[in-house]
Amino acid sequence: MKKTIGLILIFLLPLLVGYLMLVKEANAPSKLQQLKESRLQKEKPGADHSHFSQLQVKFKRPQDVTLACISCHNERHTEVMNTVHWRWLRDEYMEGKGIVSLGKRNILNNFCVSISGSEGSCSRCHIGYGYDSKDFDFTKEENIDCLACHDNSGKYEKEVEAAGYPKKDLDLAYISQHIGLPKKENCGSCHFEGGGGNNTKHGDLETALLTSDRDVDVHMAANGGNMECIDCHEAKNHVIKGRLYSSSSTDKNRLYCEDCHTKVPHKDNIINEHTAKVACQTCHIPTYAKVNKTKTFWDWSKATKLKNGEPYHIDDEDGNHTYLSEKGEFKWERNLEPEYVWFNGTATHHLIEDTIKEIPLVLNPLGGNYKDLKAKIYPTKIMRTIKPYDPVQKKLVSFKLWDKEKGNNSLWKDFNWGKAIDSGMKYLNLPWSGQYDFVETQSYWLTNHMVAPKEKTVKCNECHTRSNGRLENIKDLYLPGRDFNPAIDRLGIALIILTFFGVTTHSAIRIYYSNKNKGQN
């Protein structure tokens, strides 16, 4: 007996040692706690601008505010004028296309499609004044709108359809005296409202983030990190970190969760190993559009219908338009599970001069696959839009959306596709056949915000499951729990059945003979 106990002890001791070696100490100081504490130390505000005489004047034009800013912050404007926020254009390398100048200025997306010819309205989200046509002078520093980003008074607002100028009756002196680092409200005034309304475009960026709780977004929630956008999206020389691949193309200046949370943030090694192929967002953003709906489908072909000669709209129960004569038919959705794609930090873009080869046409194919060492699985919103193209040239078309007046061939005022496309293509000096039809397109909007509390992350079996898993469409990797070799499984089950059949038969014969023998005896 003593011997047995001794042996068991001898066996258990190395087990215990092994266990202690494999499992990290639970009491280790939490890195997350340290991170939270470091982030709670907010930067002190800078100089009190209300004391500056340069700002204690009655500004006639918003440009005068800019000039006042530059009079002290000299050369900052040169930084701003090199950013994408100002240029709406960026020279980037694209696989198969070389170096291309691409940005909001010339890209065709699948929301409002193009700014060309409609700059006067679209440039409400440009950090400048007076961008009302392709001839806007991007070298004139006085047209920089410093306040759009730096207003901390909460009173600054850009006018609708006014080429980026602010509302007329603003107290620009007061606003200019109350400036500081950009807050969520500043960034959000454009990035929450892109595509024509709150949460329309991204699905994970919306006004609810200003007031939401941790369940919606752990970082921005007032009862969570209460973080500002720029706490993560840090800026250097006015170039802000982080990229959106609806218009970016290269693996540069990206922002990673790992920047703060390190590469191996989990206690569980098996979870840490996932980070080789799975982006943090994939598990930590189980759903997006958690509060307000986002637009997921747009059918331009239904636009231009009129009732009694007048445009009309149909709304859903939340007040979102499901039909607009100006824009067509939409679908809005809430609490969406993202779709999942490989992504290595590169994207190509379908340019206006490119021929359509596949339908649905993917406007921003993302790079990466399982074999790509830089690629990981990312969550994304996929926007699906049916939009006009030239069926003869097999190319997308640009069209004039907006004009202040009727009769200038804008779709939104004159409701005539042919004239709107003709006007849009002439504006870009591009040929078109004169015929148009509609084509299904898709675009990827990687989901990076609305990070859930850790208790609400995606569970293992939401991917590691035989069917209907979240990663069902990612087929080029071996996923335990989902994947198996059908031949091996069939043979294996056959082997088990055969063995079972063998032993059953054998025992049956044994019983039969043993009874017979008994009978003989």
Partner 1 sequence: MKRVYIYKSFGRFWHWAQAFLIIFLILTGFEIHGSYTFFGFENAVHYHTNAAYAYIILIIFTIFWHFATGEWVQYVPTLTNLKKQAEYYLFGIFRNAPHPTRKTLLSKLNPLQRLVYLGLKIILIPLMVFSGLLYLLYRFPQGDKINSIKICCLSTLGYIHTIGAFLLIAFLIAHLYLITTGHTIFSNLNAMITGYEEIDDDKDEDVTIIDKEKAHEN
Binder among 8, 20, 210, 306 for partner 1 (CB under 8 A): 8
Map residue 12 onto helix, strand or coil.
Answer: helix
Q: In Å, how far are 153, 193, 244, 343, 433 from 373, measured between CA atoms?
A: 46, 35, 21, 10, 44
508 binds partner 1 (CB under 8 A): no
> Using the rule CB under 8 A, which residue among 223, 258, 483, 515 binds partner 1?
483
**Which of 51, 310, 405, 478 touches partner 1 by CB under 8 A?**
478
User: Which x/- pattern over 243-282 shows residues binding partner 1 (rule: CB under 8 A)?
Assistant: --------------------xx---xxx-xx--xx-----
The DSSP letter of residue 24 is P
Query: Is it true that the peptide bond before 360 is cis, omega within 30 degrees of 0?
Result: yes
CA distance 16 to 313: 69
Contact with partner 1 (CB under 8 A) among 56, 82, 335, 514: 514
Residues 357 to 416: which contact partner 1 by CB under 8 A?
370-371, 373
- In sequence order, the 6+-apart residues with CB closer than 8 A to the CB of 435 are 390, 391, 392
Those residues whose C-beta lies under 8 Å from the C-beta of residue 239, and which sit 6 or more positions away, are 79, 82, 83, 253
- Considering beta carbons, is residue 138 or 500 the nearer one to partner 1? 500
CA distance 269 to 372: 23
Nearer to partner 1, 19 or 26 (CB): 19
Nearer to partner 1, 57 or 495 (CB): 495
Q: Is the dihedral of CA 10, 16, 22, 28 positive or negative?
A: negative
Q: What is d(CA 474, CA 375) in angstroms, rounded to the nearest whole number?
A: 13
Report 11-30 residues binding partner 1 (CB under 8 A).
11, 14-15, 18-19, 22
154 binds partner 1 (CB under 8 A): no
Q: How many binding residues for partner 1 (CB under 8 A)?
A: 57
For 208, phi then psi, to 5°, come to: -60, -20
Q: Per CB under 8 A, which region of 337-345, 395-403, 441-449, 513-521 contacts partner 1?
A: 513-521
Please, what is the minimum distance in Å from the beta carbon of residue 207 to partner 1?
36
- Does residue 4 touch partner 1 according to CB under 8 A? yes
Closest CB to partner 1 among 71 and 515? 515
Q: Which is nearer to partner 1, 34 or 514 (CB)?
A: 514
The residue (of 32 and 373) whose beta carbon lies closer to partner 1 is 373
Q: Is 344 in the site for partner 1 (CB under 8 A)?
A: no
Is residue 496 at the binding interface for partner 1, with CB under 8 A as the rule?
A: yes
Shortest Å, Cβ 30 to partner 1: 19
Judged by CB under 8 A, the stretch of 99-107, 118-126, 379-387, 503-511 that binds partner 1 is 503-511
Distance of CA 379 to the CA centre of its chain: 8
Q: What is the 3-state secondary structure (H, E, C) of 48-82?
A: CHHHCHHHCCCCCCHHHHHHHHHHHCCCHHHHHCC
Judged by beta carbon, residue 418 or residue 492, the one nearer partner 1 is: 492
Q: How buried is residue 45: exposed, middle or buried, by Cβ count under 10 Å (0-12/13-18/19+)?
A: exposed
The single-letter DSSP state of residue 355 is B
Three state DSSP letters for 307-345? ECCECCEEECCCCCEEEECCCEEEEEECCECCEEEEECC
491 binds partner 1 (CB under 8 A): yes
Q: What secondary structure, in 3-state letters, does 398-418 show?
A: CCCCCCCCCCCCCHHHHCCHH
Binding residues for partner 1, per CB under 8 A?
Answer: 3-4, 7-8, 10-11, 14-15, 18-19, 22, 263-264, 268-270, 272-273, 276-277, 370-371, 373, 459-461, 464-466, 477-478, 480-485, 488-489, 491-493, 495-496, 498-500, 502-503, 506-507, 509-510, 512-514, 517
